A = this chain, B = another copy of it.
């Protein structure tokens, strides 16, 4: 079974931070639109799939392709978003992560973890042996890097843009650290405070679910899921039942430190070998140039499809078909 946890953070509306939407304001709608697209031909809250400002389609198209091929069950979880998606979903909270330059990001972290843990405990009583948990959280690579830095990692997180706004991210994080009065590594013994100060509701929800569900957990995402892994480790969880599943585009991202940080944390990883270089659509071909890269559990969904006997090539071909369907609708 796959869960997709939706989160928003005000950080995504800082100009230049996130391209997970055509405009900074539209990034607020991306999580619900991603979720709705997984279950319908197009989103319900907005009329088209989320795109970057340059028109690259959401990685939800990969997750949807894998889901349609392998027919695994998907449960949407609203960790904390501006809107409620117009499809069935598990409600955890409506709390949105605040701008950590001005105030603690997530005063609600305790309640969110508690509720999410209850969900994980119930899922732990089902016959489900492995839980794949993806996410859709615009701006989430910045909160991830802030949490990783607070925990003492020298991580650079990836970005949905080929021009990773590293300088801007670091400036925003430094402002947050200044506001909170901490230094790099200053919260390495206090993971919950790192989450409260700099995190987002997606992280809190995934941490909670993973604390409640005691079997194998695949954290489906890139550097954001490394932040979740680091939190779980700092909370004393044995990481041997966890794996991070992402895409080759994240692993190959020279502007980030996926492999190094995964090693430093001590978590296994899997990189889905998707290839869009021969796509007839520029929006997909550009994935090979570092646009988008990951999200909505794309790598983990591919992992599930591969386990069900499909090849990454078949997933890539299905993505092509879905994109053709989307284009036909315009």
Task: Report which of B90, B116, B128 forms a contact with A126, defined as CB distance below 8 A.
Answer: B128
Cβ of A189 within 8 Å of any chain B Cβ, yes or no, is no
Contact A91 B89 (CB under 8 A): yes
- The size of the chain A interface, using a CB distance under 8 A, is 27
Instruction: Please tell me how many copies of the chain the complex holds.
Output: 2
| Across-interface contacts of A119 in B (CB, < 8 A) | 88
| Across-interface contacts of A125 in B (CB, < 8 A) | 71-73
Cβ of A19 within 8 Å of any chain B Cβ, yes or no, is no
Cβ of A250 within 8 Å of any chain B Cβ, yes or no, is no
Contact A39 B118 (CB under 8 A): yes
Per-residue B-contact encoding for A116-142, CB less than 8 Å = 1, 0 else:
101100111111100000000000000
Nearest chain B CB to A93's CB is how many angstroms away? Answer: 10
Residue of B nearest to A84 (CB): B91
Cβ of A87 within 8 Å of any chain B Cβ, yes or no, is yes
| Across-interface contacts of A73 in B (CB, < 8 A) | 122-126
Nearest chain B CB to A68's CB is how many angstroms away? Answer: 12
Residues 60-101 (chain A) with a chain B CB within 8 angstroms: 71-75, 78, 84, 86-92
Cβ of A1 within 8 Å of any chain B Cβ, yes or no, is yes
| Across-interface contacts of A124 in B (CB, < 8 A) | 73
Q: Max chain B CB contacts within 10 Å: which of A88, A89, A124, A126?
A: A88
Contact B115 A1 (CB under 8 A): no
Task: Report which of B1, B88, B122 forms a contact with A92, defined as CB distance below 8 A.
Answer: B88
5 tightest A-B contacts by CB?
A: A73-B125, A88-B119, A73-B122, A127-B127, A91-B91
Task: List 12 interface pairs A-B (beta carbons < 8 Å), by A numbering.
Answer: A73-B122, A73-B123, A73-B125, A74-B122, A78-B91, A86-B115, A87-B115, A87-B118, A88-B118, A91-B91, A126-B127, A127-B127
12 extra interface residue pairs, beta carbon distance < 8 Å, beyond A73-B126, A88-B118: A71-B125, A72-B125, A73-B122, A73-B124, A87-B115, A88-B119, A88-B122, A89-B90, A89-B91, A90-B90, A90-B91, A126-B126
